Amino acid sequence: MMAGHLLEVRGLSVDFHTAQGAVHAVRNVSWHLDRGETLAILGESGSGKSVSASAIMNLIDCPPGDIDSGEVLFEGRDVLKMSDEQRRQLNGKRIAMIFQDPLSHLNPVYTVGFQIMETMTTHGVSKADARARTLELMERVGIPDFGTKIDAYPHQFSGGQRQRLMIAMALALKPDILIADEPTTALDVTVQAQILALLEELQKETGMGLLLITHDLGVVAEVADRVVVMNSGEIVETGSAAEVYRNPHHPYTKKLISAVPGTGGMAASLGTGIRPLLDVQGISKRFGDFLALDEATFTVLPGETVAIVGESGSGKSTLAKALLRLIEPTSGAAFYDSRDLVTMPPKELFELRRDIQMVFQDPTQSLNPRMSVYQIVSEAFAIHRDILPKDRWQGRVRELLEQVGLDASHMRRYPHQFSGGQRQRIAIARALALEPKLIICDEAVSALDVSIQAQVIRLLRGLQERLHLSYLFIAHDLPLVRDFAHRVVVMQAGRIVEQGPVRQIFEAPQADYTRSLIAASLHPDPEVQAERRAVRELRREA
């Protein structure tokens, strides 16, 4: 019976029936997974990379979903032919799954202990045994103080701990297969490295097959044995992780690999002796007893990109808000054109806001869904009345949209009619409307796919050259920063731990924290990652 693979998907096609007609989510997809092996399914959003996993777990709602054809063989038996009850008994016990955003995937109103125990009690384990095993699992995945934390709720844990709890929940019954759908995407790099290491250890212990769904070539390079590359619902390439990276055959794979940031050249510093556009002097922000921002000091030159990097909670977004006076700084000064932003009266600040614009992380949320693109972009002229007479708004909006590479004839459309990358272009057009000198980009490309990310970065760079813009580029993604920034400011727990030209930060980092950040960020080349891993292990043994 066990002649075949542990799990094999054969010729799977899934359609989704929508109001606009049938959408082929995946077409004729085949792959297999063996015990102790890690298979990565790599693809961008909309590639259908998660669909086969959902089909395995019976998570596709039919209708609107429709499994058109294909087989999913688990130990040689087709799960698609099983009854719902038989499939339910596989879920959690033989095949388990963890997801991208652990906070929304944990039920907020039940204790984590209850939720981990439930995996076991659902499959017939007694409550007392389940509780004992839950404590064991929480200890194994590295939850400190697990004896009391078993009765805590999901919101009382950090992001990394929540993913550890999800892993504990998934592995409670020692499943044969673990499906991990973007398990580290929502996490900080250092936490990502820890979670991937934990998954690898647990795989070694239990011999389970690991199916990893990801958009991140770095993650593939770090853990995958084999990789399946998907685009528009079809598999375009399959092979060992190293082989696919070294020698991609399909044009899509080639494009994807070339779009990965962190491999291009680094920008040279701008000359010295230039008067800074923005001169931040010891700016601080305190919330009650909590010092969110501790005396940040740095400058931004005209035409320069300064990246602020740090993990969540490092104070980088607080810094941006303080500079825009969206929150009032507790102390310090920030000179823009030798005028202090911090003490500026509101009227002057209003005038100055023209010069400093912001682009936010999630364009879906930062664009008003009930305003057309024309309204969104021209709103700036409605607020700052003296810029442009009303009869010239349309022409200017047209110009701005063309400048960011959008079709100007789409200006009457609404944000939901655009893709994620296009929406971010709209947000950039809106920021450009007032002809600013400085744009603060708060994780402006983090929510985008790598190939779209590369396009938006190209756009930002082009605009900088043409309009001599300065960017304050807030990001957690080091490879991206490496390719884009002139200078880098590294923040940790509200403090600037290091700053300098991009080359210096990446080639000769001084602070321990910078070094650990760089070490934790993943390189898309499996061989480079293998070397780094070997070094890590040597260091651990020593």
Partner 1 sequence: MLSFLGKRAVASAISLIGLVILVFFLSRLTGDPTNLYLPVDASLESRERFREINGLNDPLIVQFFRYAGDLIRFDFGMSVRRGEPALDAVLRAFQWTLWLALITMTLVTVAAIVVGSLAAFRVGGIFDRIATFFSLIGASAPDFWIAIVAIVVFSVSLGWVPTSGTGTVWHWILPVSVLFIRPFGLILQVVRGSMISTLSSAYVKTARAKGVRNRPIIFVHALRNAMLPVITVIGDQAAGLLNGAVIVETIFGFPGVGKLMIDSILQRDFTVVLAAIFVTAVAIFLMNILIDIFYAVLDPRIRY
Q: Tokens 């259908």 correspond to what residue?
A: 48
Cβ closest to partner 1, residue 122 vs residue 446? 122
How far, in whole angstroms, is CA 144 from its chain's centroid?
Answer: 26
Which of 106, 130, 213, 277 binds partner 1 (CB under 8 A)? It is 106
What is the side-by-side strand order in the sheet with 21-33?
21-33, 7-18, 65-74, 77-78
Q: Which of 489, 536, 151 is nearest to 305 (CA)?
A: 489
CB of 177 to partner 1, least distance (A): 12
Q: Quick one: 123 or 536, whose CB is closer to partner 1?
A: 123
105 near partner 1, rule: CB under 8 A: yes
Total of residues contacting partner 1 (CB under 8 A):
29
In the list 108, 265, 271, 389, the residue contacting partner 1 (rule: CB under 8 A) is 108
Q: Is 394 in the site for partner 1 (CB under 8 A)?
A: no
Any contact of residue 96 with partner 1 (CB under 8 A)?
yes
Q: Which amino acid is at 127?
A: K
Q: CB nearer to partner 1: give 182 or 279.
A: 182
Q: Does 123 bind partner 1 (CB under 8 A)?
A: yes
The correct pick among 24, 77, 88, 353 for binding partner 1 (CB under 8 A) is 88
Q: In the structure encoding, which two tokens stand for residue 229, read together?
A: 């590359």
Which of 66, 118, 200, 294 binds partner 1 (CB under 8 A)? It is 118
Over the range 250-273, which residues count as b (16 or more CB within 10 Å of their CB) and which as e?
Answer: eebbeebbebbbbeeebbeeeeee
Closest approach of Cβ 82 to partner 1, in Å?
A: 13
Compare residues 92 and 436 and give the one whose CB is closer to partner 1. 92
Q: Is residue 119 near partner 1 by the rule CB under 8 A? A: yes
- Piece in contact with partner 1 (CB under 8 A), picked from 100-108, 125-133, 288-296, 512-520: 100-108
* Contact stretch for partner 1 (CB under 8 A) within 84-92, 196-204, 448-456, 513-521: 84-92
| Min separation Cβ 109 and partner 1, Å | 5
Asked whether the CA dihedral 519, 520, 525, 527 is positive or negative, the reply is positive
CB of 106 to partner 1, least distance (A): 6
Closest CA to 310 of 458, 183, 447, 499: 499
Residue 514 CA to residue 2 CA, distance in Å, equals: 49
Binding letters toward partner 1, positions 141-180, x by CB under 8 A: ------------x-x----------x--xx----------
Q: Identify the three-state secondary structure at position 367.
A: coil
Token pair recorded at residue 241: 């992780």
Segment lying near partner 1 (by CB under 8 A), choices 102-110, 187-195, 351-359, 363-371: 102-110
Is there a contact between 203 and 210 (Cβ–Cβ < 8 Å)? Answer: yes
- Indicate the residue among 4 and 64 with the shorter CB distance to partner 1: 64
Identify whether the C-beta of residue 178 lies closer than 8 Å to the C-beta of residue 140. no
- Of the pair 178, 307, the CB lying nearest partner 1 is at 178
Q: Is 275 exposed, middle or buried (0-12, 13-18, 19+ CB in 10 A)?
A: exposed
Binding track, positions 336-355, relative to partner 1; x by CB under 8 A: --------------------
CB of 391 to partner 1, least distance (A): 45
Confirm or reject binding of residue 89 to partner 1 (CB under 8 A). Answer: yes
Q: What is the DSSP letter of 93?
A: T
Say how many C-beta atoms besides its own lie within 10 A of residue 85's C-beta.
7
**How far is the C-alpha of 435 from the C-alpha of 138, rounded, in Å?**
53
122 binds partner 1 (CB under 8 A): yes
Q: Is beta strand 438-442 parallel, antiparallel or unpaired with respect to 470-475?
A: parallel
Contact residue for partner 1 among 29, 72, 97, 447 (CB under 8 A)? 97
Residue 88: how many CB atoms within 10 A of its CB?
A: 14
- List, in sequence order, every beta strand (DSSP E) within 270-336: 278-287, 290-300, 305-309, 331-336
Stretch that binds partner 1, among 56-64, 239-247, 320-328, 370-378 (CB under 8 A): 56-64
Choices 92-100, 128-136, 199-207, 502-510; region in contact with partner 1 by CB under 8 A? 92-100
- Pick the closer one to partner 1 by CB: 110 or 287: 110
The SS3 assignment for 500 reads strand
CA distance 251 to 236: 9
Contact between 65 and 14 (Cβ < 8 Å): yes
Of 13, 50, 52, 91, the residue at the interface with partner 1 (CB under 8 A) is 91
Q: Which is nearer to partner 1, 137 or 342 (CB)?
A: 137
Q: What single-letter amino acid sits at 435? A: E
Which residues sit at the interface with partner 1, rule CB under 8 A?
A: 57-59, 88-93, 96-97, 99, 101, 104-110, 118-119, 122-123, 153, 155, 166, 169-170
